[in-house]
């Protein structure tokens, strides 16, 4: 797969259709997605494709402050990588983004999973499986980068946008009402 950024009339990154997996890593299996979520993903990809930052908005909120705060961190990583790809600085920034995502996922996924266990959300196993798939994909990106593949910046960016649009705005929304009904704010 060609993962280098391309200039185009619509912005510095030509193709930001989501990448669901990379070399050797098992692909994520997206659930049935609503057209609204897919539309949001396309909008976010288009925005990043123009080199523009994604601004936090109520559209991205799941209504639980601690989780929204953590999701804002993911948006910051997406924006950092968007800027780097758009300005040809991917290799320099990618190592920091990958390391940051490693710490972020450990904290964020365990936080969500503790809330699921504490409040007895019955769909926690499938959701946690999605988290493990993300961790495997991230490990594959880190392995490739450590092996000298610095051209994966756009692929990582696509993956992160997919995760924001599809996992957070679909899968995370699925538990939001349940946890709020159980007093999680």
Residue 18 within any structural domain of the chain: no
Asked whether the beta carbons of 137 and 24 are under 8 A apart, the reply is no
Q: Indicate the burial class of 54 (C-beta count within 10 angstroms; 0-12, 13-18, 19 or more).
A: buried
Of 61 and 24, the one with more pLDDT = 61
CATH number at residue 109: 1.20.120.50
Q: What is the DSSP code (8-state) at residue 30?
A: -
Is this structure's pTM higher than 0.75?
Answer: yes
Residue 77 within any structural domain of the chain: yes
* Residue 40 confidence (pLDDT): 81
The count of structural domains within the chain is 1
Work out the percent of the chain whose per-residue pLDDT is above 70. 79
> Is 50 exceeded by the pLDDT of residue 28?
no
Residues of the domain holding 171: 72-181
Gap between the Cα atoms of 11 and 14, Å rounded: 7
CA of residue 103 relative to chain centroid, distance: 14
Q: Indicate the burial class of 59 (C-beta count within 10 angstroms; 0-12, 13-18, 19 or more).
A: exposed
85-104: average pLDDT: 94
51-80: average pLDDT: 95
> Is 80 exceeded by the pLDDT of residue 14?
no
């Amino acid at each position: 797969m060609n993962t280098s950024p391309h200039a185009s009339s619509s912005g510095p990154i030509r193709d930001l259709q989501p990448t669901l997996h990379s070399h050797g890593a098992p692909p994520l299996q997206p659930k049935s997605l609503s057209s609204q979520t897919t539309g949001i993903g396309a909008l976010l990809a288009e925005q990043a494709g123009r080199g523009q930052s994604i601004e936090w908005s109520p559209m991205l909120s799941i209504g639980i402050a601690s989780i929204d705060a953590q999701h804002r961190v993911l948006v910051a990583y997406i924006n950092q990588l968007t800027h780097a790809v758009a300005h040809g600085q991917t290799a320099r920034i990618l190592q920091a983004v990958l390391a940051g995502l490693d710490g972020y996922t450990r904290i964020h996924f365990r936080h969500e999973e503790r809330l699921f266990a504490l409040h007895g959300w019955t769909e926690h196993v499938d959701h946690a499986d999605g988290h493990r798939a993300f961790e495997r994909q991230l490990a594959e990106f880190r392995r490739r980068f450590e092996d000298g593949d610095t051209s994966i910046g756009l692929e990582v960016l696509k993956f992160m946008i997919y995760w924001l649009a599809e996992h957070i705005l679909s899968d995370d929304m699925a538990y939001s009402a349940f946890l709020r009904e159980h007093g999680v704010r």
